[in-house]
Amino acid sequence: MPVPASACFDELPALAAGLGSGRFTSRELTALSLERCERHGPRYNAVAAVLRDQALAAADRADAERAAGRNRGRLHGIPYAAKDLLAWPGAPTTWGAAPYAMQIIDRQATVLKRLADAGAILFAKLAMVEIAGGLGYRQANASLTGPGRNPWGTDRWSGGSSSGSGSAVAGGLVPFAIGSETWGSITTPAGYCGITGLRPTFGLVSRAGAMPLSWTMDKLGVLSRTAADALDVLNVIEGQDPEDPATVARPAESAREADAPCRFAVLRGATERVQPEVATNFDAALDVLREFGPVTETELPELPFNDVASLIISCEGAAAHENLLRDGRIAEMTAPENRWSLYANLMIPAVDYLRALRILRVMQRELSEWMTRFDVVLTPTLATVAGPVTEPFSSWAQGFESTQISAASNLAGFPALTVPSGFGADGLPTGLQLVGPAFSERLLADIAGRYQAATDWHRRTPPPLPDINGPLEP
C-alpha cells in the first residue's frame, strides 16, 4: 500500500509504526516529502536545496537494513530537513546570503552525522534569514530565497531566522527539521507557524559544522509537530563532541514522581503588551496547566538582558563575519540595513564587549538562583501573530518576544519549548512558551506533552495551497 497523503502531517511514532509494519517504505515516505518540498517549498520560500538523489539512495539503504532485520531506532528511515547553516557534503551551504550562494563545505555537521547514524534521511536544506539574522535585519525579505512565507497565510512571515524550518514543518513538507537559535530563531518561527520548537540547553548539542554567529549563545534545536517528537530527535543529536569544546554530557537527572505537581511561574505583566487574542489564548493555556501544578507570579531579576544579548551578538557576529567587509561582499546582502551594520558592530569598543561578558556571569548566577524557586516559567511565545511579509517589522511587531525571558534564558543557556496555543487575528497561530533550568528538556517535553494531550492545536493543519505552479507573487 502506498504511503497515504495524510502522512505528511503525521507525528513520528505513526511514521515509525508505518515503516515497521511494512505499510509503506522509507523510499515511499521520502518520495512524498520530496514531492511536497519541490511543489510547495518555493511557494513558501522555504527551501535552499533539494537532495533528491542522495535522499532516495539513503531511503533504499534504510529499507534494505529493515528487511535484513536491522533497526537503528525511532528515526530509522524517516526523512527530515535542516537549516542551511549546517554543512553537508556535496550540497550548497548558503547561510541564507548571496555572497555564499555557491558555497560548498565538504564535511558533515555533527548533528547531521548523528541523525544519519540513526537512520534519518536528510532530503533538503531549508531557507534562513541571511547570516542567521546577525546583521540586524528589520524586514522579512532579508534572505537569499526571499521572505519566509507562513503556511497559515502566505502573505504573512514565517519568522526568523529558521524561517524555512518553520514553514516546512507547518506546511507538511517534512516531519521535523533542525534549526538554530541565538536569540529567538527557533521559538519565533515555531510560534508564528503553529508548531513545536525546542531550544536545548547551551552546550547540549554540538555546533560543529554550523555557521557561527555567537560562540557564547549559538544553539541547535528541533522544530516538529509535537513535544514528544522534538524530544525523540534531541535524544539522538545531544551529547559531547570533541569538535565543539562547548559541548557537555547531560548530567544524571534526579528522580521525579510522574504525577508530582509542577511548580509553574508566570512573569508579572506577561500579557500587558500583547495582542488581545494572544492574552486570551495564554490565559486558556494556564487553565489547562493548573491541572498539573500551581501557578505563581514572579519577576525577572532587574538586569539589562536585552542590551547584553544584543551587544554580545553584535561583537561576536562581527568577528565571525569580518571577511565580508574585507572582500567587499557585504554589498551583496539582500536587506539594505545588512550592508552597513557590520561596519558599526566592528567599531564597538573591546572594553564594552568585555564588560558585557562580565555582566553575563552575574546574570547566569542570578538566573540560576532565581530558577530554583520553580520548575517551569510560562509566557506567550510572541506578543503578536505573524505580520505581513511586505511591511517592516516596526510597522506591526510589538517585539518578537512578549517579555525579556527570551534574552534572559538565551544568555543563561536555559532550554525553552514552544507549542501552539490557539489562533488569533486572521486565523494565525499563537504560542505557549515553557522555559526551564539547564538540562530540563525532559520535564519541559513532559509538561508540553500533557498540554498537547489535553488540546488539539498541534493537530490543526493549514489550508492547502491552490494547485498552481511556481512561487507566489511578492
Q: Which residues of 105-143 are buried (b: 16+ CB within 10 A; e: fewer)?
A: beebbbbbbbbbebbbbbbbbbbbbbbbbbbbbebbbbb
Instruction: State which H helix or E strand residue 278 sits in.
Output: helix 276-289
Could you tell me if residue 95 is inside a domain?
yes
Cis peptide bond upstream of 161, omega within 30: yes
Which grid cell sits at 292? 498539573
Query: 322 Cβ partners below 8 Å, 6+ apart?
Result: 342, 346
Q: What are the catalytic residues? A: 83, 161, 185
Tally of domains in the chain: 1
Inter-residue contact 95 to 130 (CB < 8 Å) = yes
Inter-residue contact 164 to 132 (CB < 8 Å) = no
Which pLDDT tens digit goes with each residue over 23-73? 999 999 999 999 999 999 999 999 999 999 999 999 999 999 999 999 999
> How far does Cα 44 stand from its chain's mean position?
17
Could you tell me if residue 251 is inside a domain?
no
The single residue listed with the C-alpha cell 511586505 is 390
Which pLDDT tens digit goes with each residue over 202-227? 999 999 999 999 999 999 999 999 99
CA 86 – CA 147 distance, rounded (Å) = 20
Could you tell me if residue 227 is inside a domain?
yes
Q: In the prediction, which pLDDT does 253 show?
A: 75
CA 120 – CA 233 distance, rounded (Å) = 10
Could you tell me if residue 342 is inside a domain?
no
How many Å from the N-terminal Cα to the C-terminal Cα in the chain? 40
Which grid cell sits at 377? 516559567
Mean model confidence pLDDT for the chain: 95
Could you tell me if residue 331 is inside a domain?
no
Q: In the prediction, which pLDDT does 472 show?
A: 46
Domain with 45 in it: what CATH number? 3.90.1300.10
Residue 265: how many other CB atoms lie within 10 Å: 21
CA 402 – CA 380 distance, rounded (Å) = 7
Inter-residue contact 436 to 448 (CB < 8 Å) = no
Instruction: State which H helix or E strand residue 83 sits in.
Output: strand 79-83
- Between 276-289 and 441-454, two packed helices, what is the crossing angle to 10 degrees? 100
CA distances from 211 to 84, 103, 105, 254 (A): 9, 12, 11, 35
The DSSP annotation for 166-216 comes to HHHHHTTS-SEEEEEESSSTTHHHHHHHTSEEEEPPTTSB--TTB--S-TT
Output DSSP code: residue 456: -
Could you tell me if residue 406 is inside a domain?
yes
Q: In the prediction, which pLDDT does 255 show?
A: 66
Nearest in space to 178 (alpha carbons), one of 112, 133, 231: 112
The single residue listed with the C-alpha cell 489550508 is 463
Q: In the prediction, which pLDDT does 404 show?
A: 80
Could you tell me if residue 179 is inside a domain?
yes
Q: Which residues form the domain of 395? A: 8-246+258-302+363-459
Return the CA Rg of the chain: 21
Which pLDDT tens digit goes with each residue over 150-184? 999 999 999 999 999 999 999 999 999 999 999 99
Q: Where are the alpha helices (DSSP H) in 238-393?
A: 276-289, 305-320, 323-326, 341-346, 350-370
Inter-residue contact 163 to 125 (CB < 8 Å) = no
The CA angle 243-245-250, to the nearest 5 degrees, is 100
What whole-number percentage of the chain has pLDDT above 90?
A: 92
Mean predicted confidence (pLDDT) in 213-242: 98
Structure-model confidence comparison of residues 259 and 128, the more confident one: 128
Residues in the chain: 474
Which grid cell sits at 399? 517585539
Whether the predicted pLDDT of 277 surpasses 70: yes
Could you tell me if residue 316 is inside a domain?
no
